[in-house]
């Protein structure tokens, strides 16, 4: 446990029967941090979150929160809040009654209860909706009710399971801003699970990328986006041209090429489509796909390395389907990868 850690997972191992889902996971989370657990389905991110919430008992390791070992503490005694993907609101209760539900279970009544709920609703911008039933609300408003219901319990850590997945694109943008505002104003330590790299990059202070029950990379959004350590992370955050390095050559399943310039000491290189130099260069490809995307034009090239995806300014002259086009893979524009495969 580091000196700055507020929530610590120490050699945490989790299993479903004989199937190990997470093994020897070490993670330090700072107080007041907004942390994303990012990865594909089955990588262990939701399982890890459930163990923090007390909904799953570890088969090994410890969970420490604010200096106390909570590994075997019951879920309702952990000071950990949880906002479910489905919101889990009571449709027959009003917004006020939904937010008050947990407080009433703790024995709070009267003016204290009313003040607490009113403050919670105000914090998420729903003070005027207290008397409405939840089915009368939009998806974004229901998400805010679920958030307020957890926040009024004053958790030390708030967990969110795919918090924006049920919302349309416009509401997702609004709720990103809302979650950031509530988290920064309250100072609560917040952890959210997502498979959406855009959501993680936009919201988190740090991102934990998970693969097969282990941590593949931890870093700020800028570090994850610009400096992936492996081909897995690179692929997950939008590097669509990823190749191994072998004997000084760039290698793919369909072929290999020498690149001009000295290759770095790395297991592989990754380029985003916009980093590909199209229209000039030592390499040749055939245009197999082209699409206009507003300010840019996106190309799919058939090359000796397989498919290459490139993105260029739409103001440049277009290359027609089936034509040969020169291109380059500038080494200086690539992200070097420490691990490949």
Q: What is the mean pLDDT of the chain?
A: 91
pTM (two decimals): 0.87
**Same structural domain, 272 and 177:** no
Domain range spanning residue 204?
5-228
> ∠ CA(43), CA(48), CA(49), 5° rounding?
115
First to last CA, the chain: 31
Domain boundary among 186, 211, 228: 228
**Does residue 142 carry a pLDDT above 70?**
yes
**Same structural domain, 34 and 158:** yes
Q: Read off the pLDDT band of 1 (50, 70, 90).
A: very low
Domain count, the chain: 2
Mean pLDDT of 234-239: 92
Domain boundary among 173, 198, 228: 228
CATH of the domain at 25: 3.40.50.300
- pLDDT digit string (tens) for 312-333? 999 999 999 999 999 999 999 9
- pLDDT digit string (tens) for 69-104? 999 999 989 999 988 877 788 999 999 999 999 899
**Does residue 166 carry a pLDDT above 80?**
no
Domain boundary among 181, 199, 228: 228
- pLDDT digit string (tens) for 6-21? 999 999 999 999 999 9
Q: Read off the pLDDT band of 164 (50, 70, 90).
A: confident
The pLDDT > 70 percentage for the chain reads 98
């Amino acid at each position: 446990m580091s000196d700055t850690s507020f929530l610590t997972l120490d050699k945490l191992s989790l299993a479903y029967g004989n199937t190990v889902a997470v093994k020897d996971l070490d993670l330090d989370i700072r107080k007041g941090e907004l942390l994303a657990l990012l990865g594909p389905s089955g990588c262990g991110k939701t399982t890890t979150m459930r163990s923090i919430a007390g909904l799953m008992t570890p088969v090994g390791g410890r969970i420490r929160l604010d200096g106390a070992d909570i590994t075997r503490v019951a879920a309702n005694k952990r000071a950990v809040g949880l906002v479910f993907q489905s919101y889990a609101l009571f449709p027959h209760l009003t917004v006020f009654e939904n937010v008050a539900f947990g407080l009433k279970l703790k024995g709070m009544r009267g003016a204290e209860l009313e003040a607490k709920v009113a403050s919670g609703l105000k914090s998420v911008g729903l003070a005027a909706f207290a008397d409405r039933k939840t089915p009368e609300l939009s998806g974004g408003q229901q998400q805010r009710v679920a958030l307020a219901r957890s926040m009024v319990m004053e958790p030390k850590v708030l967990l969110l399971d795919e918090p924006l997945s049920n919302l349309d694109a416009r509401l997702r943008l609004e709720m990103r801003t809302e979650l950031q505002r509530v988290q920064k104003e309250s100072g609560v330590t917040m952890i959210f699970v997502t498979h959406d790299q855009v959501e993680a990059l936009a919201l988190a202070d740090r991102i934990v990328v998970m693969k097969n029950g282990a941590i593949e990379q931890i870093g700020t959004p800028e570090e994850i986006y610009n400096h992936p350590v492996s081909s897995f992370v690179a692929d997950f955050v939008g590097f669509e041209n990823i190749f191994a390095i072998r004997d000084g050559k760039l290698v793919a399943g369909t072929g290999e090429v020498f690149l001009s310039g000295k290759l770095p000491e790395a297991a592989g290189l990754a380029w985003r489509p916009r980093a590909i130099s199209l229209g000039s260069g030592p390499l040749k490809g055939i245009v197999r796909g082209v699409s206009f995307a507003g300010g840019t034009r996106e190309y799919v090239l058939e090359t000796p390395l397989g498919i290459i995806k490139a993105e260029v300014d739409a103001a440049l002259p277009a290359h027609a389907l089936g034509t040969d086009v020169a291109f380059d893979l500038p080494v200086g524009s690539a992200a070097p990868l420490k691990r490949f495969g």
